[in-house]
Amino acid sequence: MQGRVDASDVIQDACLEAATRVDDYVQKKPMTFFLWLRFLVGEQLITQHRRHLGAAKRDARREISLFNRLPEASTAMLAARLVGSLTAPSEAAVRTENRLEVEEALNSMSDLDREIIALRHFEQLSRAETAELLDIQESACSKRYVRAMQRLSEKFSPNSEPHS
């Protein structure tokens, strides 16, 4: 959908939706304001997905990209974020290798571990916001996050099995 929908349009549509629904939010306050805005953006993405991928005539999957570039998997984006960006050109191969190792490690983790790491690192949500989204207590969220990060770091300890 990247070639058909601009991110700024999705955000703009979500802001317009927020403006029309803000009174309802203020009355009910179902979640923090940030999470509510995040929810509205998610709704806009679903709407755009249905519009562009749901109708056979306009199905974006039928289009051929000139660059033949597929969107990266979410674990790939999370791995890239966790590895960071090394700046020296000589470190590009090392960066790619590190990213692939982190991606492999993330793929071997449970869905909950990946989700909590993604919410905290990729989406940069606070502990309270992450707990609210996962519908768990903040203390449980904190413990799960620490355990998930420990499991991830164990995959890179010298005693772990070698990576392929």
For 38-63, write each residue's pLDDT tens digit. 889 989 988 888 887 765 555 445 54
Question: When comparing pLDDT for 134 and 95, which is higher?
Answer: 134
Neighbours of 10 (CB within 10 A): 18
Give the Cα separation of 137 and 155 in Å (integer). 27
84 pLDDT exceeds 50?
A: yes
Query: What residue ranges define each of the domains in the chain, with the CATH number in brackets?
Result: 7-62 (no CATH), 74-154 (1.10.10.10)
Alpha helices per DSSP H over the chain: 7-28, 33-53, 74-83, 92-107, 111-117, 127-134, 138-154
Model pLDDT, residue 52: 75
Name the residue among 108, 130, 128 with its Cα closest to residue 117. Answer: 130
HSE toward the beta carbon, residue 8, CA cutoff 13 A: 0
Model pLDDT, residue 155: 84
Euclidean distance between the first and final Cα of the chain, in Å?
33
CB 112 within 8 A of CB 122: no
Gyration radius of the chain's alpha carbons:
19
Reported as a pLDDT band with limits 50, 70 and 90, residue 24 is: very high
Model pLDDT, residue 71: 42
CB 74 within 8 A of CB 103: no
Percent of the chain with pLDDT over 70: 73
Model pLDDT, residue 20: 94
Reported as a pLDDT band with limits 50, 70 and 90, residue 86 is: low
